[in-house]
Amino acid sequence: MNNNELASKPHYPILDGLRGVAAIIVVTFHLAEPLATGHLDILVNHGYLAVDFFFLLSGFVIGYAYDDRWHKMTVGNFFKRRIERLQPMVILGMTLGAIGFYFTDSTLWPLIHTIPLWKMMLVMLIGYTILPVPLSLDIRGWEEMHPLNSVGWSLFFEYIANILYAVWIRKFSTMALSILVGIAAIALAHLAITNGDVSGGWTLNVEQVRIGFTRTMYPFFAGLLLSRIAKPTRIKNAFLWCSILVAIVLYMPRIGGAEHVWMNGVYESICIIIVFPLIVYLGASGLMKTQREHRICKFLGDISYPLYLVHYPLVYFYVAWIGNNKGVTIAQAWPYALLILTGGIVLAYAALKWYDEPVRKWLRKKLA
């Protein structure tokens, strides 16, 4: 089956816009993180839940785009389309991460300039495949499976979810999928309540990989289930209300403090299991009244994935600056944080127009 014969279905523009809103909040989370004394007092405390929201959006969109196409599409075709969509920005993100790593000077990473060039290049080349690097290749010292671009861990699990869907779970009946999603929801709630949050998944060890799988399985396949059973209605101002809901969930301060960590786990369970599917349903049901709203959603959707992949190499410089200037306050840091956020959005848009779109177009022809 030729890729080009699988004509694209209409998009859900509001869901594209919400992905962009969540991506911007992720950047603010990563900018607020180094100013905190620990995970209890980060200014954008639940910003990491954006990843769980991305997984749910992905499951919904994959189900909507592909579930009724398997009679005219092979597993190979599916993977070609996913590689074409995801890999170009992975490669750019890892390359920018390597450049940033080479030029970073920080008291946080005193051994960074003792890393031989060949080792950094090896980590970059492995990063291009999105496969995790072992701890023996953790050249930054943060125990990340992608030390040149931290966010790569979620793309690794995104690929695993795509593989599970294409090879096996797409064949599930709605009942079987519902049972899987129910079990995954219980596992997610158990993780959140016992740990106090779902944060984690970026280290290549048994415990962290378990967290990554648990964070992926419920939202991705709940999104798939939602795409099968949801009957969207017609809701006015959905983009505005859904954006406000996403912001409230992700900017919510930590709940329960250090004494009652389970309370925060309950909050995160409710957000991921109930609130995120509700937001996606409302977004899929939304009516767009004006061209301006269309343009905003298109812009946010266009930059969401590039912004996610290019912002962290910039954040490493910001973290290094804070590490080199002990006692930096929010008042001192916010102009630099704003500069990183703005620069990240500009870089993401440039990457989209000058790199991602042309490369994907070229790949589409090559893989057809």
Q: pLDDT digit string (tens) for 11-35? A: 899 999 999 999 999 999 999 999 9
CA 317 to CA 368: how far, in whole Å?
Answer: 40
Please state the rounded mean pLDDT for residues 227-250.
Answer: 94
Q: How far is CA 44 from the centre of its chain?
A: 16
Q: 168 exposed, middle or buried (CB, 10 Å; 0-12, 13-18, 19+)?
A: exposed
How confident is residue 314, by pLDDT bands cut at 50, 70 and 90?
very high
pLDDT higher at 75 or 1: 75
H/E stretch holding 164 reads helix 152-167
The answer to whether 108 and 327 have CB atoms below 8 angstroms apart is: no
Q: How far is CA 42 from the centre of its chain?
A: 19
Q: In sequence order, what DSSP letters do the residues of 17-59 get, joined into one string?
A: HHHHHHHHHHHHHHHHGGGSSSTTS-TTTTTTHHHHHHHHHHH
What is the structure's pLDDT at 111? 75
Q: Evaluate if residue 272 carries a pLDDT over 70.
A: yes
Torsion angle of the four alpha carbons 3, 23, 62, 154, in this order, in degrees rounded to the nearest 10 = 100
Degrees to nearest 5, angle at CA 311 with 143 and 280? 95
Q: Evaluate if residue 273 carries a pLDDT over 80.
A: yes
pLDDT higher at 343 or 10: 343
User: Smallest Cα–Cα separation from 281: which of 226, 215, 351?
Assistant: 226
How confident is residue 109, by pLDDT bands cut at 50, 70 and 90?
confident
CA 144 to CA 101: how far, in whole Å?
Answer: 14
What is the structure's pLDDT at 114? 87
The answer to whether 216 and 269 have CB atoms below 8 angstroms apart is: no
What pTM was computed for the model?
Answer: 0.96
CA 159 to CA 170: how far, in whole Å?
Answer: 15
Q: Evaluate if residue 2 carries a pLDDT over 60.
A: no
Q: Evaluate if residue 1 carries a pLDDT over 60.
A: no
